[in-house]
């Protein structure tokens, strides 16, 4: 993917969550952004990218992108940045009641959808494969995230990891033409030097 990789993965994940919200029968939406944003108050679910780290096992490796319509050779990128994106999926405050029970049902549908199809693929993510998995979130980690938003009451949340998300350089590595003929002329240079 290019510089839009983070945006594309976030939008693909949002689309997957919106389909789950619709399947639950809830008429709400999925808001992408911080938990204290005023626009988040009408959402059933909130998708918040809270952490980005380089993927330790893929760093310093070339990124080979297989073309959608072979036979052209794979495009090879050097110095690509493989990322792990950590998202928080939180129930919104769409209902005026103090209870978040109706939205827990929506969260269950979202978790079911992500578990059933854990990979984001296709044109939305430039035909890459990004694996989405439930990420353990300790009480301390959850507390750190929610402390960023002191004006917002804690709501039920789960964390997901999307990996790998590749940010490739603008241009692939230039590959030389394949060698189709090889010849070795032994002794020719020495005869020319003697003359």
Q: What is the pLDDT of residue 58?
A: 87
User: What are the structural domains, with CATH classification, of the chain?
Assistant: 5-175 (3.30.2000)
The pTM assigned to this predicted structure is 0.83
pLDDT level of residue 21 (50, 70, 90 thresholds): very high
* The CA-based dihedral angle spanning residues 76, 77, 83, 84, taken in that order and rounded to the nearest 10 degrees: 0
Q: Which two tokens stand for residue 169?
A: 């350089």
Within the chain, residue ranges assigned H as helices are 5-23, 101-116, 139-147, 188-194
Please name which of 139, 132, 129, 99 lies closest in space to residue 117, comparing C-alpha atoms: 132
Say if CB 149 and CB 184 are below 8 A apart: no
- Token pair 């029970």 is found at 101
* Per-residue pLDDT reduced to its tens digit, 29-51: 999 999 888 888 889 999 999 99
Sign of the alpha-carbon dihedral angle for 120, 121, 122, 125: positive
Mean pLDDT of 153-167: 93
Least confident of 12-26, 100-114, 131-145, 177-191: 177-191
* Per-residue pLDDT reduced to its tens digit, 63-122: 887 777 766 677 787 888 999 999 999 998 776 556 678 889 999 999 999 999 999 998
């Amino acid at each position: 993917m290019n510089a839009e990789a983070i945006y594309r993965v976030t939008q693909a994940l949002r689309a997957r969550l919106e389909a789950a919200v619709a399947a639950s029968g809830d008429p709400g939406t999925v808001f992408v952004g911080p938990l204290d944003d005023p626009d988040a108050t009408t959402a059933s679910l909130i998708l918040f990218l809270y952490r980005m780290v380089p993927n330790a096992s893929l760093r310093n490796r070339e990124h080979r992108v297989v073309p959608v319509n072979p036979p052209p050779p794979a495009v090879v990128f050097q110095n690509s940045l493989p990322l792990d994106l950590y998202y928080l999926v939180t129930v919104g405050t769409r209902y005026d009641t103090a209870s978040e029970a109706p939205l827990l049902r929506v969260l269950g549908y979202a978790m079911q959808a992500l578990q059933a199809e854990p990979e984001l693929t296709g044109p939305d993510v430039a035909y890459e494969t990004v694996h989405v998995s439930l990420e353990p979130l300790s009480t301390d980690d959850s507390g750190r995230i929610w402390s960023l938003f002191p004006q917002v009451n804690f709501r039920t949340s789960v964390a997901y990891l999307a990996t790998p998300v590749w940010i490739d350089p603008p241009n692939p590595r230039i590959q030389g033409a394949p060698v189709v003929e090889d010849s070795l002329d032994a002794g020719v240079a020495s005869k020319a030097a003697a003359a």
